[in-house]
Chains A and B, each alone.
Chain A
Amino acid sequence: MIPVPPPHTMPLPVTHFDNIGFWQGVKNHGLVIQKCQGCGAFRHPPRPMCPKCRSLKYEWAPSTGKGKVYSWVTYRQSPHPGFKAPYTVVLVELEEGVRVVSSLTDYPPEKIRIGMPVQVTF
């Protein structure tokens, strides 16, 4: 279903109205999380409305960047020319309670375990 993008060395994020703040934050080396201004709930991935209180007002709150590994996979075969296998993708639960998907750097994949504390880098 998803139209295949033309080949790049790395797949670039698709940016749009509702997530541009997140990617601008990343560009400036800051991890920001969408926070509802109505009820204060954090949410990710970014969306226009708060699913709890249905407020349309939100801010991009800086994250501590700290969290724990919630789950992980290791690609043994590369699915894309931009990535050299093996490499590990982690699902990190941030202190704010939301989960983000990321890569694990500077760590041997065989030592990774669920619950391991991690910190964001750019």
Chain B
Amino acid sequence: MLEEYLARKYRSETRPKAQDYLIKDKVAIVGIGQTEFSIDSGRSELQMACEAIKAAVDDAGLKMEDIDGIVKFTFDFNDETSLVNALGIPKLKFFGECGWGGGASVPTILHAATAVATGVADYVVCFRALNERSGRRYGYVPGATLTTIATNTHYGMNFPFGFMSPIAWVAMFTQRYMHEYGATSEQLGWVSVVLREHAQKNPNALFYGKPITLKDHQESPMVVDPLRRMDCCVDTDGAVAIIVTSAERAKNLKQKPAYILSVASSTATDGELMTSVYRKKISLLPETWYMGQELFRVAGVTPKDIDVIEFYDAFTPLIPMQLEELGFCNVGEGAAFCEGGKRIRVGGELPINTAGGSLSEAYIHGMNQISEAVRQIRGTSTNQVKNAELVLATSGLGVPTGGLILRR
């Protein structure tokens, strides 16, 4: 099945008809909320979630009683029952989760949007709350020790060889990407530099007040060769919540709505959690290509129409690879596209990650990219792109992924 992807032949005729896609222009994001981003929140993940959701509800001008749906990351420790009880939500009509780590950020919006578009729920909250940096987990089993058996059979083929962290998994296909297309560490460095530059305008960013140069990137230590420390996002304590409702209801709410032009998700053949090493070709992101084809097909726009992109950027190589898969440049040209930073910074032809992204703002598993996309549409970003009309956001890579196009 991968041949179809390698030939870049999308079988649109097998997809549901575009006019049957009920989400386009019918659903909007009306509230965003977040906690501060830090390296030690000093409180529980449940409290972080409550604070962010409360902030989003206030931002939308709603009452907690209005909320009747929750979509969460499977990886999030806060489950719906705890949130209902802690937040005092009277009742939920829709709840569920999206799997695959950071790949879940945009899919939470997709599932919330399908719920709203089909009349299953009215106001749905999507959120991510984590204490990834301080490791202040909510609960642990007393006396439990680290398991020494790989937790499932697939990991069982990787862990015994010390191949057990996301950075190593991403480095494995980055090595191949650099080998096949001649991408260099300096080119990846420019991604890091530009995003850090963007974070200087965002007081909420973890790296606010700490700009870097390409030299800093090149001198930062190798973590997993070929990736350096400054190729990696920064583990963060924080939470972000987003409220989705119908376009109709959105009109009467407090904020200018960010309408959903399209939202899509996709897996691809032979996919695994960042360890899809058994595919015919591993230097590509087929999930992102499939998702992009679907995203632009139902939106009825092309990559040329996009004004700003908020990429999921856990590691620098993921940005050039996404630029290629989504059709912003040709395959193998993504790294050159980013070189020098001129084209991807605010003021350039395609500004990306205007708040600093996961590399420089905070790593809330992609939810902060979505809230920044909403701010760009509202025109309230601290690093505003003038007249931004269409903003694209993506979710975790190398896993089943998602994409979202918002419009004013």
Q: CB within 8 A of A48: which of B86, B137, B140?
A: B86
Total A-B residue pairs with C-beta atoms closer than 8 Å? 65
Q: Is the Cβ of B47 less than 8 Å from the Cβ of A48?
A: yes
- Once the chains are docked, how many angstroms separate the CA of A54 from the CA of B51? 9
Within 8 Å of chain A (Cβ to Cβ): is B162?
Answer: no
Q: Is the Cβ of A51 less than 8 Å from the Cβ of B85?
A: yes
Q: Could you say which residues of chain A place their CB within 8 Å of the CB of B85?
A: 47, 51
Q: Is the Cβ of A5 less than 8 Å from the Cβ of B44?
A: no
CB distance from A41 to the nearest CB of B (A): 10
- Once the chains are docked, how many angstroms separate the CA of A52 from the CA of B64? 10
Within 8 Å of chain A (Cβ to Cβ): is B88?
Answer: yes
Within 8 Å of chain B (Cβ to Cβ): is A50?
Answer: yes
Q: CB within 8 A of B143: which of A6, A47, A49?
A: A6
Q: CB within 8 A of B44: which of A13, A48, A51, A52?
A: A48
Q: Could you say which residues of chain B place their CB within 8 Å of the CB of A8?
A: 142-143
Q: CB within 8 A of A16: which of B44, B51, B87, B145?
A: B44
CB distance from A43 to the nearest CB of B (A): 9
Q: Could you say which residues of chain A place their CB within 8 Å of the CB of B145?
A: 6
- What sequence of 0s and 1s flags, for each residue 32-56 of chain B, a beta carbon within 8 Å of any chain A beta carbon? 0000000000011011001100100
Q: CB within 8 A of A14: which of B46, B88, B142?
A: B142
- Once the chains are docked, how many angstroms separate the CA of A12 from the CA of B64? 35
Interface size on A, residues (CB 8 A): 19
Q: Is the Cβ of A50 less than 8 Å from the Cβ of B144?
A: no
Interface band, chain B: 20 to 34
Q: Could you say which residues of chain A place their CB within 8 Å of the CB of B136?
A: 17
Within 8 Å of chain B (Cβ to Cβ): is A116?
Answer: no
- Once the chains are docked, how many angstroms separate the CA of A6 from the CA of B146? 12
Known contacts A5-B141, A12-B142; A52/B88 CB under 8 A: yes
- What sequence of 0s and 1s flags, for each residue 9-43 of chain A, a beta carbon within 8 Å of any chain B beta carbon? 00011111110000000000000000000000000
- Once the chains are docked, how many angstroms separate the CA of A6 from the CA of B139? 15
Task: Considering the complex, give the chain A residue whose CB is closest to the CB of B45.
Answer: A17
CB distance from A34 to the nearest CB of B (A): 11
Interface residue ranges of B290-338 to A (CB < 8 Å): none
Q: Is the Cβ of B86 less than 8 Å from the Cβ of A56?
A: no
CB distance from B85 to the nearest CB of A (A): 6
Known contacts A8-B143, A12-B142, A54-B54; A18/B88 CB under 8 A: no
Task: Considering the complex, give the chain A residue whose CB is closest to the CB of B141.
Answer: A5
Task: Considering the complex, give the chain A residue whose CB is closest to the CB of B88.
Answer: A51
Q: Is the Cβ of B141 less than 8 Å from the Cβ of A48?
A: no
Q: Is the Cβ of B144 less than 8 Å from the Cβ of A3?
A: yes
Q: Is the Cβ of B144 less than 8 Å from the Cβ of A49?
A: no
Q: Could you say which residues of chain B place their CB within 8 Å of the CB of A13?
A: 142
Within 8 Å of chain A (Cβ to Cβ): is B82?
Answer: yes
Within 8 Å of chain A (Cβ to Cβ): is B181?
Answer: no
Q: CB within 8 A of B50: which of A5, A12, A15, A48?
A: A48
Known contacts A3-B144, A12-B142, A14-B139; A47/B46 CB under 8 A: yes
Q: Is the Cβ of A3 less than 8 Å from the Cβ of B141?
A: yes
- What sequence of 0s and 1s flags, for each residue 141-169 of chain B, a beta carbon within 8 Å of any chain A beta carbon? 11111000000000000000000000000
- What sequence of 0s and 1s flags, for each residue 55-85 of chain A, a beta carbon within 8 Å of any chain B beta carbon? 0100000000000000000000000000000
Interface residue ranges of B353-393 to A (CB < 8 Å): none
- Once the chains are docked, how many angstroms separate the CA of A14 from the CA of B142? 7
- Once the chains are docked, how many angstroms separate the CA of A102 from the CA of B125? 35
Interface residue ranges of B68-127 to A (CB < 8 Å): 82, 85-88
CB distance from A72 to the nearest CB of B (A): 23
- Once the chains are docked, how many angstroms separate the CA of A6 from the CA of B141? 9
Q: Could you say which residues of chain A place their CB within 8 Å of the CB of B21?
A: none
Task: Considering the complex, give the chain B residue whose CB is closest to the CB of A50.
Answer: B88
Q: Could you say which residues of chain B place their CB within 8 Å of the CB of A17?
A: 43-44, 47, 136, 138
Q: Is the Cβ of A47 less than 8 Å from the Cβ of B138?
A: no
Q: Is the Cβ of B86 less than 8 Å from the Cβ of A49?
A: yes
A interface, CB within 8 angstroms of B: 3, 5-6, 8, 12-18, 47-52, 54, 56
Between-chain CB contacts (< 8 Å), 27 pairs: A3-B141, A5-B141, A5-B143, A6-B144, A6-B145, A8-B142, A8-B143, A12-B142, A12-B143, A14-B141, A14-B142, A15-B139, A15-B142, A16-B138, A16-B140, A17-B138, A47-B82, A48-B43, A48-B44, A48-B47, A48-B86, A49-B88, A50-B88, A51-B86, A51-B88, A54-B50, A54-B88
Pairs of residues from A and B, 10 with the lowest C-beta to C-beta distance, nearest first = A51-B88, A48-B47, A17-B44, A5-B141, A47-B86, A49-B50, A12-B142, A14-B139, A16-B139, A49-B86
